[in-house]
Copies of this chain bind each other. A is one copy, B any other.
Amino acid sequence: MSKRDPFLAPQVESRRGGPAKQPLSRGAIVSEGLRQLRTGGESLSLRKVAAALETGPASLYAYVEDLDELRALVLDHALKDVALGGTAGAWRERVNAVLESYVSVLSASPALARLAFGTIAVGPNALRIVEKLLALLTEAGADPDSSAWGVDLLVLYVTAIAAEHTGGGHPGVEGPVAQALDRATEQDYPHVFAARARLLSGTGVQRFGWALDVLVGGILNARPPNPQALTPRAPAPTRRRRS
């Protein structure tokens, strides 16, 4: 058996109108952790959360299994703010809107973006996002297999790009990447040399938009994963290729 399910226990503390110093609770710990990340904290730390809650680090272990569980809880708490949008507009715009919201929630705090990368998002709010993306890809005409794997790929991309953006960042004519490209001489790395400007071009938003085109277009057009081998449960029509 693995650990007990960390998302099952409801936040039991509400107590509005209670004393200024809220009693220790799982909800208070998670909220404080997220608050610290969003107000510039370098990384999530049990000791810092405990200090803010005016207790010792050991006390948190009554509410949280370990740091990894706290990370998962904090991440899901943050994902509550991802806007799923309404049902108006073309599906492509709505896919873009969801993923833009996703990346903007994560990028709002570098520490949160880093945390998101090392942590698989499996809380209720992550599920809500997956649910929406599955619906949108289905609406877009993707077959069920491509939709499922496609959502996975989209979420992976969004998480990765958020983490990368905050890690010092890709773009820009200065910065480590540009410095690296200056080392690429024409004879040793002819393609890199020729592509230097293009490798650095574009704003983050432009590149993000382009990448979503690539991913969504690719998901809709790629040969879907072999249905009969992979989904024994499902009826699986052998109709390949939509075009």
Which residues of chain A have a CB within 8 Å of any CB of chain B?
2, 5, 7-8, 114, 117-120, 122-124, 126-128, 130-131, 134-135, 138, 144-145, 147-153, 156-157, 159-161, 163-164, 167-177, 179-180, 183-184, 189-192, 194-195, 197-199, 201-203, 206-207, 210-211, 213-219, 221-223, 225-226, 230-240, 242
Contact = CB atoms under 8 A, between A and B. Distances in A.
Nearest to A240: B172
Given A223-B213, A236-B173, A148 B180 contact: no
B197 A234 contact: yes
Copy tally for this chain in the complex stands at 2
Contact of A225 (B167, B183, B210): B210
B148 A198 contact: yes
B242 A175 contact: yes
Contacts of A151: 199
Contacts of A174: 2, 240, 242
B160 A156 contact: yes
Contacts of A190: 131
Contact of A179 (B5, B157, B171, B223): B5
Contacts of A2: 174-176, 179
